[in-house]
Structure 1
Amino acid sequence: MNSSLLHPAGPLVVSMVSHGHAALVQPLLEAVARLSAASVSRVVLTQNLPEADPQEPPGGWPFTLQVRRNARPAGFGTNHNRALAGAREPFVCVLNPDVVLSHGDPFADLVRTAGAAGVGCAYPHQVDAMGRVQDSERALPTLLALWRRRVLGRPSEVGTPVEWVNGACMVLPRPVWEAMGGFDERYFMYCEDVDLCLRLRLAGLALVRAPVRVQHAGQRASRRAWRPLWWHVCSLLRLWASPVFWRARRLLPPHAAPANRIDAS
């Protein structure tokens, strides 16, 4: 544990996993401390690869910072499940280190949205460094949908049904997270967020976009290196063979896309 201060109990615990992303983690932690101290009571940072610990600011962190160091790299879902195991906060957050809080504190509204009746997961608008809306709300990853995205270069358009949202920033009520069992650890990397979103929807819970935005780099390693591409293919094959995927295709009506899109200009 990297904090000796006693902090007021906030409603949210944040889990971050770093794969040698110390240069991104430090400013993100500083932004959380500066903007979200009233919402975030604890941050669990999992170092999946060896790297320097974050530098504590002169006044200390306004939340409890716990640093976990893996002896060997673990998968995305495994790392977040371990970090959030035994959480006592009312809400849990999965947060990528390449998220930038460039538009103020997102967590108060994310918690408020996640706490509404029938909500399984709250998520923010995601924009790139130029303020353009990213396609973080996506249709079910069928072969046709992937062909449109990867080969034809057609991202999801306004009005496209939102079957799942990416896992860059997700806030869930802790009882919901526990009832779902967190992420399915059989996915080493990729599709954990698809599977979780489908299971939430099959349980009758909604994916709701909160009226906040974050900046997300959204650099997909599977487009640049063979090993992540292999992981992505393996995860897709596992997803397509899973009962969750086929139950979702058979039983779930299209999840209507939120109407209040952020202007991309």
Structure 2
Amino acid sequence: MKPADLTSIIIVLADSGPLTRECVERALASDRPVEVILVDNGSEDGTPEQLDRSYATDDRVRVVYNRANLGFGPAVNRGATHARGRLLLVLNPDCLVEPTTISRMAAHVGPHTGIVGALVQDADGHVDPASRRRDPLLGRVIATKLGRGSGGIDIGGPLPSGAEPVEIVSGAIILMPRGAFDTLGGFDETFFLHCEDMDLCRRARDMGYQVLLAGDVRVLHGKGGSSRHRPVFVSRHKHRSMYLWFRRHDPAAKNPLLRGMVWLGTWAHFLLKIPGQLLRKKRR
């Protein structure tokens, strides 16, 4: 099979929950040639090993074992080293694609396209606002908190019927030409978990690539297991990544006073959330 005809689907696992097998099955049912690269970040639920046995005779599936949790971005980058396709699809293990999903997303790839995202929705058909966002610049975040929607980070209004240039798409499913991925150096491995998609989209735009939302493609996004099993761990890395993104990309971070206030606010917010997270985990 020629690489030009192949899409490499990279799925990162980390105790990812019961939807993982269906995610893989649906990915393999695509109407275009695919390979599935499962990158395991030290799962303890046995899912990677089960999938490895199930697809042992299917050369379209490969399991890469990291034997430790390297973080989401680093795991995707390691998966990409095994990928042979001209297109890369980064897919969460709790996302369920349709046979035509990749073809419809790929139809929007042009010479200047760096990233194509899709509308991510829940089982009731509600679209996740994270499918289409703006950079979370400090001024915009403050505007959002004050109820000034026009300056906020979430984009309201009608959803597009085709491809629409946006600032950020959801990292739950992103399609990239291999050339763009390599030019960007893949994901920034400084981000262990969360905000790596925002960083990737920002760097793509800064390098002249288009970030597109395929408004004609909807993908069911379930609820994975990683966040529920380790809520404080996930929250800690999320807050760290939020501050890291601010330091890297927000002009307001050049002001030492603002930078210090954002640092204090970020970690105070993290500490305040811990009791509730532990209580919810205990109730489960």
Q: What TM bracket, shorter-length normalisation?
A: 0.7 to 0.9
Show the counterpart of 1:65: 61
TM-score normalised by structure 2 residue count: 0.72
Q: Distance in 2 between matches of 1:94 and 1:245?
A: 26
Show the counterpart of 2:239: 233
Q: Distance in 1 between matches of 2:188 and 2:250?
A: 13
CA contact (8 A) 2:73 2:193 kept: yes
Show the counterpart of 1:56: 54
Residue identity over aligned pairs, in percent, reads: 26
Asked if 1:105 corresponds to 2:109, the answer is no
Deviation at 1:245, TM superposition (A): 4.1
Q: Aligned partner of 2:243: which letter?
A: L
| 1:162-201 matched pairs, under 5 angstroms | 162-201=166-205
Deviation at 1:214, TM superposition (A): 0.6
Deviation at 1:129, TM superposition (A): 0.6
Show the counterpart of 1:253: none
Show the counterpart of 2:113: 119
Bigger shift: residues 162-171 or 84-93: 84-93
Q: Distance in 1 between matches of 2:38 and 2:63?
A: 5
| 1:1-265 matched pairs, under 5 angstroms | 10-21=5-16, 23-34=18-29, 36-40=30-34, 42-48=35-41, 49-50=43-44, 51-52=46-47, 53-54=50-51, 56=54, 61=58, 64-85=60-81, 87-101=83-97, 103-114=98-109, 116-135=110-129, 136-143=131-138, 145-146=140-141, 156-158=155-157, 162-210=166-214, 211-217=216-222, 221=227, 225-242=231-248, 244-246=249-251
- How many aligned positions are there? 232
Deviation at 1:202, TM superposition (A): 0.8
Q: Aligned partner of 2:231: which letter?
A: A
Deviation at 1:159, TM superposition (A): 6.5
Deviation at 1:99, TM superposition (A): 0.4
Which is higher, the Rg of structure 1 or of structure 2? 2
Q: Aligned partner of 1:118: which letter?
A: H
TM-score normalised by structure 1 residue count: 0.77
- Structure 1: any 5+ residue segments left out of the alignment? 1-6, 248-265
Query: Between Structure 1 and Structure 2, which shows a larger proportion of helix residues?
Result: 2
Deviation at 1:108, TM superposition (A): 0.9
Q: Distance in 1 between matches of 2:145 and 2:10?
A: 29
Q: Provide the alpha-carbon RMSD of the alignment.
A: 3.0
- Structure 2: any 5+ residue segments left out of the alignment? 160-164, 253-284
Q: Distance in 2 between matches of 1:151 and 1:228?
A: 27
